[in-house]
Structure 1
Amino acid sequence: MAFYTYLLKCVDGSYYCGHTDQLEFRIGQHQSGKGSDYTARRQPVELVWSQDFPTRHEALAAERQIKGWSRAKKEAPIAGDWDRVQFLSRSADT
């Protein structure tokens, strides 16, 4: 069974990060206003990034890590720019 970490873009331009083992079903919940209070107040939402993981623990760890990222760093994997993720990680450490 696969587990997923995902990013949604909300109508106000903010990002929501979550994890699930049923990606399509969970996105449908968010899009219908039943996924979370945060996304229910920021409709419509759009899936902009997801990644699968072999365990729930890894997906949850990725969610927690991404939730702490800056907006610019969240936008890097959406664009598929993992070099930028690394760059922003290094620049945050200095």
Structure 2
Amino acid sequence: MSWYLYLIECEDGSVYTGITTDVDARFAQHANGTGARYTRSRKPRAVLASFELADRSSASRAEYWVKRLTPAQKRELAGGRRSLDSVLPAVIVVDDDKTIEAIEPAVTPIDMVIDAALAQVPLAATTPEVGIEVQVEPALDATPPKRARRSRTARSPRA
């Protein structure tokens, strides 16, 4: 039985991601208020896209990675400007029997810079597909100030 990953645009501009075996029936559930709690408060407008996957496990894995995308990135995926494979982690085949999901989805150089800046760690990498070298150093004052501890005052015994 095939499973589908689907993207629904909601009235507030958000994009809901889910999995199902029947996209039309599931959208009808979302539309009449018996679907996910998320779409009960944000009325669904339309199905932006659906992607057929081999089984529930594959669909759940894809759903996990797609839910990490921003609404704009989800719209790129729905519009065909981004492929589902570009969102999923790369699979490394070790032996014929073993595979390891070891590499996160491909990221753009700007994503690398933003992630490094947020993590405040040094980063030096060359992106082979673009050919630019990125170097990010943490700010000198990257360490947050320590909070002062409250001194405990002796309490008088209760009467």
* TM-score, normalisation: structure 2: 0.53
Residue ranges of structure 1 left out of the alignment (5+ in a row) = none
Q: Which residue number corresponds to residue 93 of structure 1?
A: 112
Query: Which of the pair has more CA radius of gyration?
Result: 2
Would you say how many aligned residue pairs link Structure 1 and Structure 2?
Answer: 92
Cα offsets for 1:13-62 (capped at 9, x unmatched): 00110001121111110111111111011114310011000111011111
Instruction: Give the letter aligned to residue 22 of structure 1.
Output: D
| Distance of aligned partners of 1:74 and 1:89 in 2 relative to their CA distance in 1, 3 Å threshold | farther
Q: Runs of 4+ in structure 1 displaced over 6 angstroms? A: none
Cα offsets for 1:61-83 (capped at 9, x unmatched): 11110000122211111111127
Kindly indicate whether the alpha-carbon contact (under 8 Å) linking 2:8 and 2:44 is maintained by their aligned counterparts in 1: no
Q: Which residue number corresponds to residue 37 of structure 2?
A: 37
Structure number with greater CO (CA < 8 Å, separation at least 6) is: 1
Q: Which residue number corresponds to residue 77 of structure 2?
A: 77
Measure the CA separation in 1 of the matches of 2:28 and 2:62.
Answer: 21
- What percentage of aligned pairs have identical amino acids? 32
The 5-angstrom pairing of residues 1-94 of structure 1 reads 1-82=1-82, 86=86, 89-91=107-109, 92-94=111-113
Residue ranges of structure 2 left out of the alignment (5+ in a row) = 87-105, 114-159
Q: Secondary structure at the match of 1:89?
A: coil
Kindly indicate whether the alpha-carbon contact (under 8 Å) linking 1:11 and 1:44 is maintained by their aligned counterparts in 2: yes
